[in-house]
Amino acid sequence: MTDPQASSTRHEVLRLIRLAGGLTAQQLAAELKITSMGVRRYLVALERDGLVRVQMQRQAAGRPTYVYRLTEAGYDTFPSNYDLLATQLLDAVQVHDGDAKVDELFARRMDQLVAQYEPRMRGKDLGERVAELARIQDENGYMAIWETVKDGYLLKEQNCAIYRVACRFQAACHYEIELFRRLLDAKIERVQHQIKGELTCAYHISPKARRSRPKAAR
């Protein structure tokens, strides 16, 4: 069980660094009214989790100081309104240029993602590609898992990282499944959909049907 006090102190360390832009262990200890050793335990854990980084600053005289700053992941622990901003921008595009322009933006984004992730699929069989896609989606905040089923594979996204956008623009979901088809080179069917009130977005994945060769004329 997580210690509520430790969790609160951990968040306060992140908050203080966020407000100051960077703090030493001694400065944090003074703010939190705990020992420097106690602060360092939190900093070690936060650095291990990729939420803070340490930067050495040389002084004109004496030993260098070590300043702790937030990483990008550290900044992401604080509330943000990126999904609302994206929705508002897409709304503006839709009003000004119409649905076709919105569709074009999602299509371009899909092409960029294909170019980014296709190298990770090379040389892999379908099962390995499904596993790699699950890793990619998990890295992007979708809490993705996968399993082998009787006639293929099942990929589940337990979180929708673009839920507000997807609720407003159907193109988001359309191009997600198209992205999967291009990366996996497989037959894909969406069998659960979070924007319809279901717990996950789930995709049944199976190999493409092989085309039969025409028989040679006798």
**pLDDT tens sequence across 131-182:** 999 999 998 989 999 999 989 999 999 989 899 899 999 999 999 999 999 9
pLDDT digits 0-9 by tens, 26-67: 999 999 999 999 999 999 999 999 999 999 988 777 788 999
pLDDT at 4: 57
Entry pTM: 0.67
Q: Is the pLDDT of residue 212 over 70?
A: no
pLDDT at 211: 67
Backbone CA torsion sign across 21, 27, 28, 31: negative
β-pairing verdict for 152-157 and 65-70 = unpaired
Candidates 1.25.40.10, 3.90.25.10, 1.10.10.10, 3.30.930.10; correct CATH number of 4-75?
1.10.10.10
Residue with tokens 């892999």: 124
Contact 160, 194 (CB under 8 A): yes
